[in-house]
Each structure stands twice: as structure tokens, then as C-alpha cells.
């Protein structure tokens, strides 16, 4: 199977959906002539023109608001916010309008839009451009939240998101854009709300998503060398969350570690750990362990790497849980 970069997989998904459905269009800062801050939409303006690759002004609130209005009229907008750090600038639109209009109108209105954005560390971009704010969106009922880890998932999940009649917040990790992986050439979609077993194991379950899947897989490899079999669950979609897959894994291993790049306090690690405790209370032989980003503004330079979960932290936690 061919291997392409994460950003190329996303571009393919957008191209294929725009080619198939003339109602699909992209709007955001520098998405047209420049080709996107991370080159995801590069070249698409030559194929589809400036009416469907719309360069927006620097106003996140108005851009998301336009997307909502377009979705109400029957179009399928893909709205790009350059960084997830800018989500608070459009929080009224994202938390009050996007997820609630279909509910409040009894289904008379649909909001078939995708809000694409980029989060996470890896580029030493500082405290205002390196955050992981997925919990802001997961906390809001009515929003689907997707965070793919691989090029294949990025393409398949984005295609499903674009076709969804519900609003989807699609968060890409900036450190994954250049990473290559196997992606089928044929058109394929991946259903929202379905986790995948990234690596099978029998002694401990590691639940994670986005770039932390790669860190967890590396830790699982190191644990295998020490005789501990770790199963890695890639959630892929945070809302809705596939707790059936998580519960089945924890029911088998009896131990669980949750790993996130988001901050620990009141973050996704707390929510996932609580759900595991509720669903697998009688299975667990030890409390669920959370490994998350330090509760500090994301630092730059070498301190950035020290602020997020590491392979060593996961390995140490797994060894402690397994009595090593």
C-alpha cells in the first residue's frame, strides 16, 4: 500500500469531497492562495477557484459564524481555524450556535459543517500556539470531536466528518503533518465514534488519542522487552467516545493508563479515567493512572518536551501497575 503524509491524506479527503459535492467549500485564513498554514489546502484553489477556497479576514468569530449560516442554507462548509488556541475567540459560535440550532429547531435546521483546526506541541510555538483544548469542545453536547493519529484515519475520518449532518470539530496535531503512513488509494470512510486497537496486549491497557498514540506505541514496545504486554487503544473520536472498545480492553487486562497531551486538571484524562472506573469497577486490580501534560502554560524550547507525557513516564507507570 502506498504511503503518504498526514497533510496529504487530509488534502485528498477535501479534494475528493469537493469534487463529489459542489456544496462543499473551504473558508479560513490563508486557505486559498497560500494553501493553508500547514499546506493542507495547497493547490486546491487551482482546481476549485476562489469561490470554494475562500480566504477569510482575521476574525475567527465571523468566519465560524459564516460557516454556520452557510450550513443552515444547505452548504457543507469546512471552516479552518489556524490554531485551536483561537477557539475561545469564536466560543459563542462554537459552543452556543453550532451544537444547539438543530436541537432547538427540532431538526428543522441542520449544521453540516466541519471546523478544522490544529493543536498540540512539537514546534516550540509558545504558550499561545501550542495548547490542547479539545476538552472545551467535548464539554459541549451536540459537537462531535475527532482527533486522528494516522494518515489513514485522518483521511477516512475527515471524509465522514464532511458528510455528517452534525457539526464536527476536527483537531489535527501540528507535529503529525509530515508523518507518513499507509493510506488506501480507493475512496474509504471511517465511521465517527469508533476506536481502534493500535496494538494488542494482555497486561495493561493504554488509552489515548492523536499524537500520544505514537508515544504510547513506543512505550508498549519498550514494555514488551521487559515482559509486559500493553494494549494501546486509539480513541480517534472523543465525542462520541467508544467506551465499548475501552471497556472490553480493560476487562481483559484489568489495568488502565490514560495518556493525553492536554492538561491534567479537569481535562480529558479525568473524563476518560472516570468512565473506565464506572464501567470496569469490578475488573480493575488497581486505580486508573492518568499521565497528562503538566498544569503550566506550554513552554517553548527544550522545556516544551518536558511538559508533556514521555515514553519513560508511561513505562514506569505500567511497571508499577503490573507489580514490576
Yes or no: say if 103 and 166 are a contact pair by the CB < 8 Å rule: no
- Nearest CA to 93 out of 101, 102, 84 is that of 101
Would you give the DSSP letter of residue 240? T
Cell of 12: 485528498
Yes or no: say if 206 and 232 are a contact pair by the CB < 8 Å rule: yes
Cβ burial of 299 (10 Å; 0-12, 13-18, 19+) is middle
129 has catalytic annotation: yes
> Considering 129, 173, 263, 304, which one is annotated as catalytic?
129
> Considering 8, 17, 29, 60, which one is annotated as catalytic?
60
CB within 8 Å of 320: residues ≥ 6 apart: 289
Torsion of CA 182, 191, 70, 25, to 10 degrees: 20
How far apart CA 2 and CA 89 sit, in angstroms, is: 39
Would you give the DSSP letter of residue 97? I
Q: Which residue has the cell 464532511?
A: 162
Q: From the centroid of its chain, how far is CA 298?
A: 19
3 has catalytic annotation: no
DSSP letters of 137-151? Answer: HHTSTT-EEE---SH
Find the DSSP H helices in 128-242: 134-138, 151-163, 212-224
239, containing H or E segment: strand 237-239
Integer CA distances (angstroms), 230 to 34, 199, 222, 227, in order: 43, 8, 10, 10
How far apart CA 257 and CA 28 sit, in angstroms, is: 37
* Residues noted as catalytic: 60, 129
Amino acid at each position: 500500500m502506498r504511503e503518504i503524509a498526514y497533510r496529504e491524506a487530509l488534502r485528498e479527503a477535501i479534494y475528493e469531497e469537493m469534487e463529489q459535492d459542489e456544496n462543499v467549500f473551504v473558508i479560513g485564513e490563508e486557505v486559498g492562495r497560500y494553501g493553508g498554514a500547514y499546506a493542507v489546502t495547497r493547490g486546491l484553489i487551482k482546481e476549485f477557484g476562489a469561490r470554494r477556497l475562500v480566504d477569510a479576514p482575521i476574525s475567527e468569530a465571523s468566519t465560524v459564524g459564516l460557516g454556520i449560516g452557510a450550513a443552515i442554507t444547505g452548504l457543507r462548509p469546512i471552516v479552518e481555524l489556524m490554531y485551536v488556541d483561537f477557539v475561545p475567540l469564536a466560543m459563542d459560535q462554537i459552543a452556543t450556535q453550532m451544537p444547539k440550532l438543530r436541537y432547538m429547531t427540532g431538526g428543522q435546521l441542520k449544521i453540516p459543517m466541519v471546523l478544522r483546526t490544529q493543536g498540540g506541541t512539537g514546534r516550540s510555538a509558545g504558550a499561545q500556539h501550542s495548547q490542547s483544548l479539545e476538552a472545551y469542545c467535548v464539554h459541549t453536547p451536540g459537537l462531535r470531536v475527532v482527533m486522528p493519529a494516522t494518515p489513514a484515519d485522518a483521511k477516512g475520518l475527515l471524509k465522514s466528518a464532511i458528510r455528517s449532518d452534525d457539526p464536527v470539530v476536527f483537531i489535527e496535531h501540528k507535529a503529525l503533518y509530515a508523518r507518513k503512513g499507509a493510506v488506501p488509494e480507493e475512496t474509504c470512510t471511517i465511521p465517527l465514534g469508533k476506536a481502534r486497537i493500535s496494538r494488542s496486549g494482555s497486561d495493561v491497557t493504554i488509552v489515548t488519542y492523536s499524537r500520544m498514540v505514537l508515544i504510547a506505541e513506543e512505550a508498549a514496545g519498550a514494555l514488551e522487552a521487559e515482559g509486559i504486554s500493553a494494549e494501546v487503544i486509539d480513541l480517534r473520536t472523543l465525542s462520541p467516545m467508544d467506551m465499548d472498545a475501552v471497556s472490553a480492553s480493560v476487562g481483559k487486562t484489568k489495568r488502565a493508563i490514560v495518556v493525553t497531551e492536554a492538561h491534567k486538571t479537569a481535562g480529558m484524562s479525568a473524563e476518560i479515567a472516570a468512565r473506565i472506573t464506572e464501567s470496569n469497577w469490578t475488573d480493575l486490580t488497581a486505580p486508573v493512572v492518568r499521565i497528562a501534560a503538566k498544569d503550566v502554560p506550554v513552554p517553548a524550547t527544550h522545556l516544551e518536551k518536558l511538559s508533556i507525557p514521555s515514553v519513560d513516564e508511561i513505562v514506569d507507570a505500567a511497571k508499577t501497575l503490573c507489580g514490576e
